[in-house]
Structure 1
Amino acid sequence: MEFLNFVLAVSPIVLVLAGILLLKKPAMKVAPVALAWTVLLAFTYFNITGLAFKENVAVIDALLWKGIKEGLKIVFMVFGAFVILNTLKRTGAIEDVKNTVARVSGQDRRVQLIIVGLMVPIFLEGAAGAGAPAAIAAPFLVALGFDPITAIAVALLGDATPCSWGGAGLTTINGGASLVEAGISTNALNSAMVGRIHMFGALIIPFIMVAMAFGRKGFKGIIPYLCYAGVTTGGVMFLLSNFVGPEVTSMGTGLIAILLSVLFVKVVPIKTPEEYKYQAPKNVKQRYGAFRAMSPYIYMLILLPVVRYGVPAIWPKTGFAFLCTFGYIFWVDCVIFICGLLGAATLHVKKDELFEIFRVTGGNVLPVMITMGSLLVMAYIMQSGTTGMMSLIAGDIAALAGMMYPAAAVLIGSLGSFVTGTGLGSNIMFAGMHTEAAAALGMNPITVFAGQNAGASLGNLICPNNTVAACATVGEVGNESKVMKRTLAAFAIVLCVYMVLCMVYTLVLFPNFGM
C-alpha cells in the first residue's frame, strides 16, 4: 500500500518526464495531460483531508487561478527578453554585439561561452533571480552565434549554483528561516556551508559546458583557462559565502569572476584552434558603437541591482514590500521590459518597427502560457496540504535513506525545485523536515540543510518550468526534450558530486559545524 502511495504521488512527475523525454512530445501538449491526471488524483486517491466534491472544486479553482497569474508573470519576463533579442536582430546590432564581446573576451568562442553562460547568470541571479539569468543569457548566447538548444542548456546550467542565494540571498535567508528561528543556525552559517558545496560545482561546470557545446575535441588548448575559471569562480564564491554573507555572494561572485576572466585572456594567450575562433563577418561595417549595440544588456546589468538594492535602501521599512506588491518576479519583469524599450530607443528603433517587434514576440510566447499555467497548477496541487503528495514523496525517500540521509537531502531538494520551479520554494517546503530528521539521526542539521539548499539550486537545471521559459526566449518552444536530454546528463554529474560532498561534510569533515 505504501509503495502504491509513492508511485501514484510521483506519477505526475514521471508523466511529464516520459512525455517530454521518451515520447518527445512538446511540453505544451504534455503539461495539460499531466495537470488533468494530477487533478484526478486530487479528487480521488489523494483527497486525504476528506473534502467534499464542492470543497475540492473550490481548492482546485483557487490553485488554477494562482497558476494562471504566476504563469503570466513568467510569460511577461520571457516577452521582455524576447523583445531585446528581436530588436537586436531587426536592427542588425547582433553582429556588433558579437564583435564587442569578442574584443572584450578574446576570439575564443569557448571563453565567450563560459563568461556569458556561467558568470553572467551568476551575477544576474544575485541581482534579480526569479528566472532572469537563463531568460537573458540564452538569447545572448544565440546572439553570439551558438546553437539555440546548446544556448538554453548552457544558460540553465550556469544558473545551477547561484540559486541557493538567489536575489540578495533570499533563498538562503528565507529558505533557512526555520533553522534560524529555532536557534539551530544563522544566515551566515547556512550561507557558509552551502558555499562549500557549490564551490565544487563552480569548479566542474565550465568543463561540462565545453563538453556540452563542443564535445570532447573542444578541450584542445583551453584546459588551463577552464581550470582558472573554475578555481577563481569557486574560490570567490567560497570567500563571499563564508566571510561576507548571503546577500552579495551570487552577484559579487559573478562580477568578480567576469573581471578575473577578462584579465586572464588579456594576459595569458590562448592557442585557439581555427574551428573555435570567433569569425567576424567580412566586409560588414559596424553599424553601432559598442555601448549602443550592447545597450539593452548594459541597462539590465545596471538597473537590476540598482532597483533591487536601491528601493529597499531608500525606503528601508517598505521598499522590499513594495517590490513584492505583485509578487517578487513582477519587478524583474518590468525592469527587463523597460531595458528592452530603452535599448530600442538607443538603437533608434521607430515606433512602427517596435510595434511589429511586439507583435512577432507576442506570437512567439503565447503558447508558453498554456504550458506554464499547467505546470504551475500541477505543482501547487502536489504541494497542497489537501493532497500531501510532495510531503509523501519526500517522507518516503527520507525514511528509506537512513544513514544516507545527507545524500537524500540533496535529492529531495532537487525534487522540490523540479516541481516548484524555485529553490526558495523547495527550501521552505522541506527545511523543517530535514531539521527533524537530522535530530532523529544525530546528524548536523546545518550540513543537512546545506545539502537541501544545494540540491534545490541544482534542481532548477531540469525544472520543466525553467526549460519552457528559456526555450521561449529563443523561439524553441516544442523542443524541450532536446534541451532536457542535455541538462539531465549535466544534472546527474553534479548531483552525484553534491550527494558525496554532503555525506562527507555531515559525517566526516564538519559533524559539529556551527554547534
Structure 2
Amino acid sequence: MDFLNFLMALSPIVVVLVGILGFKKSAKTVSPIALAWTLILAFTYFNLDGLTFAENIKVLDPLVWKGIKEGLKIVLMVFGAFTILNLLRETGAIEDVKATIAQISDDRRVQVVIIGMMLPIFLEGAAGAGAPAAIAAPFLVALGFNPTTSIAIALLGDATPASFGGAGLTTINGGAALVDAGLATVAQNAAMAGRFHMFGVLVIPFIMVGMAFGKKGYKGILPYLTFAGVSTCLTMFVLSNFVGAEVTSMGTGLISILLSVAYVKLVGVKTPDEFRNESANHQRKYSSFKAMSPYVYMLVLLPLIRYGFPAVVENGFAIMCTFGYIFWVDLVILVCGILGALTLGVDFKTYKAVCKRTASGVLPVLITMGSLLIVAYIMQSSSTGMMNLLASDIAAVVGRFYPAAAVLIGSSGAFITGTGLGSNIMFAQMHIDAAASLGMNPITIFAGQNAGASLGNLICPNNTVAACATVDQVGNESDVMKKTFKAFAIILVLYMVLAMLYTRVLFPNFGM
C-alpha cells in the first residue's frame, strides 16, 4: 500500500468533511472547492493513462454533464417534496396533519418511530431513489419537529432498506456478479442482507428517540421501542429470508406500521406531558384525508406505478424510466402535489406562488448537487481509479478481518456515490476475488458490502444536501451530519461485528 496515493485519493472526501464539519461551511460553499480539487487531481496526479489536456477534457466532459443532469433530477424531487410542505403551510393544513397523526398516537416519540423509520422503509420499497428522506423529513417538520433533527431521523430511517431498494433492485442488480458466477442466488443474497439489517432496525428506534429527545426521551417508552424494534426485526427477517428481495422493504414498512398502530391502540404507551402532542384537540379546517392528501396519494401511487404499470401497459414502466430511474419518482411526487392542491381547494394563483417561492429556495441546490455528483463520478471513473484504489488499499491491509472491511468499503462507496446500488456494482467483483483468495464465503462478504452500502447513504453529502433542501435548511448540513455520524458509527460497528461472526463463525458455509 502506497500511503501517499491512498491519502491523495481520499483527499476530496477530506475536503468535503473538513469543510462542512470542521469549518462549519455550507455544502454550497464546500462542494465547488472539492470539485476544483478533484479536477486538478484528475488532470495531474491521477492521470493514470498519461492523457494530454485535450484528451482528458474528452474523458471528463461527459462526467461533468452527467453530474449536472443527475443533479437536476434530484433537485426536481426536492422541489416536489418542498412544494408539498409549503402548500400545507400556506393553507394551514399542516395543523390538521398534526391532528391526524395525533389520533394514532399523541406520543411524539411514537410518531418519530412510525414516520421516521417505518414510513421510509415502506417508501424505499415502493420507490427508492431518495424518496424516503425527501418525503419523511418534510412530514416530520409538518408534525412540529426540529428541521435538522427531522432530516437526520429521515436519513437514519432509510439506512437499512436501501440494501433492497425499489423492488429489490439494489440486491438483485448489485449482486448480479455473484449470481452470474454461480456463487449465489438472488434469494441467498437477500436472505443474508436481511440478517444484517434485522439488527439495524432492532436498535434504530432507540437511536431515533435519543436523537430527538435525549436521554429523558426514554421515560415510559422502552416497552414500545422494544416492541417496535423486535417486530420490525422479525418482519424483515421473514420477508428477506422466505419471501424475496422485491417485497422486503415495502412489506416490512407496511406491516411494521400496522403492528405499531395495533400496539398503541391495544396496549398503549405511558406518555409524560412533555412528550404529548395536543394537536388531536385542534379545531380542524380540513378533514384528515384532505389535510394528508398529498402524502396519501404518494403512498398509493408510488407502489401502484412501480409494481402495477408493467402489468397494465407493456414496457410502460421502462418508458417512464427513459430519463433515468429517479425521473418517474420525480413525476409522481409532482403529480401528488398538484392532486393535493386540488383536494385542498387551492386556486391556481396560490399554487403558482407556492411553486415560485419553492423554486427560489431549491435552485441554488443544483450547484451543490452537481458539484458533489461530478466529484463522485470522477472518483469512481476508471480513468482516475481513485475509488478502486481506496477500496483495494483497505482490502490489502486487513487480511482475516476482510469481512468487516467489506462493510466499510460498502459504506465508503455509498458515501461517495450516494447510492447503494452503485457501491455494490463497483465492488462486487473485488469481494468475489478477495473471498476466493482468503477461502471465505463470498455470500456473507457481499452481504456485508450490501449492508454497509445501505448504511453509507446515512452520511452521504449528496443525500444530506437533498434532504436539507426539502425543509429549507440549506447551509445547515454540518448540524445534520454531526447527528447522523454518531448513529452511523454505532450501526457500522454492529455490522462489522456481524460480518465477522457470519463469515467466520455462524454461516461460513452458507449457500456453498
TM-score (norm 2): 0.99
The amino acid across from 1:447 in the alignment is T
Conserved in 1, the CA contact under 8 Å of 2:119 and 2:257? Answer: yes
User: How do residues 432-511 of structure 1 correspond to structure 2 at under 5 angstroms?
Assistant: 432-511=429-508
The amino acid across from 1:415 in the alignment is S
SS in 2 for 1:280: helix
Work out whether 1:46 is the aligned partner of 2:46: yes
Deviations 1:278-326 (A, max 9, x none): 02287x520111100000000000000001011122345x234223210
Partners in 2 of 1:453 and 1:269 — Cα distance? 36
Residue equivalent to 1:60: 60
Work out whether 1:159 is the aligned partner of 2:170: no
Residue equivalent to 1:117: 116
Partners in 1 of 2:209 and 2:311 — Cα distance? 40
Partners in 2 of 1:252 and 1:322 — Cα distance? 26
Residue equivalent to 1:177: 176
Residue equivalent to 1:301: 299
Residue equivalent to 2:254: 255
User: How do residues 287-366 of structure 1 correspond to structure 2 at under 5 angstroms?
Assistant: 287-315=285-313, 318-366=315-363
Work out whether 1:381 is the aligned partner of 2:383: no
Residue equivalent to 1:134: 133
Deviation at 1:61, TM superposition (A): 1.3
Residue equivalent to 1:238: 237
The amino acid across from 2:290 in the alignment is R
Conserved in 1, the CA contact under 8 Å of 2:98 and 2:280? Answer: no
Residue equivalent to 1:418: 415
The amino acid across from 1:286 in the alignment is R
Residue equivalent to 2:185: 186
The amino acid across from 2:489 in the alignment is A
The amino acid across from 1:350 in the alignment is D
Deviations 1:46-76 (A, max 9, x none): 0002212101011211111100000000000
The amino acid across from 2:231 in the alignment is T
Deviations 1:359-393 (A, max 9, x none): 10001101110000000000000000000000000
SS in 2 for 1:155: helix
Partners in 1 of 2:263 and 2:390 — Cα distance? 46
Alignment length, in residue pairs?
512
Conserved in 1, the CA contact under 8 Å of 2:106 and 2:280? Answer: no
**Structure 1 runs not aligned, ≥5 long:** none
Partners in 1 of 2:14 and 2:86 — Cα distance? 35
Residue equivalent to 1:9: 9
Partners in 2 of 1:394 and 1:271 — Cα distance? 48
SS in 2 for 1:125: helix
Partners in 1 of 2:433 and 2:337 — Cα distance? 47
Partners in 2 of 1:57 and 1:342 — Cα distance? 45
The amino acid across from 1:403 in the alignment is R
User: How do residues 399-410 of structure 1 correspond to structure 2 at under 5 angstroms?
Assistant: 399-410=396-407
User: How do residues 67-82 of structure 1 correspond to structure 2 at under 5 angstroms?
Assistant: 67-82=67-82
Deviations 1:236-271 (A, max 9, x none): 000000000000000000000000000000011211
Q: What is the Cα-based RMSD across aligned positions, in Å?
A: 0.9
The amino acid across from 2:246 in the alignment is E
Partners in 2 of 1:221 and 1:444 — Cα distance? 43
Partners in 1 of 2:316 and 2:95 — Cα distance? 39
The amino acid across from 1:470 in the alignment is A
Between stretches 58-67 and 202-211, larger displacement belongs to: 58-67
Partners in 2 of 1:419 and 1:503 — Cα distance? 25
Partners in 2 of 1:57 and 1:312 — Cα distance? 40
Partners in 2 of 1:442 and 1:275 — Cα distance? 55
Partners in 1 of 2:504 and 2:391 — Cα distance? 21
Deviation at 1:440, TM superposition (A): 0.3
Partners in 1 of 2:49 and 2:170 — Cα distance? 30
Deviations 1:434-458 (A, max 9, x none): 0000000000000000000000000
The amino acid across from 1:509 in the alignment is L
The amino acid across from 1:372 in the alignment is M
Deviations 1:200-222 (A, max 9, x none): 00000000000000000100000
SS in 2 for 1:511: coil
Work out whether 1:429 is the aligned partner of 2:455: no
Conserved in 1, the CA contact under 8 Å of 2:26 and 2:476? Answer: yes
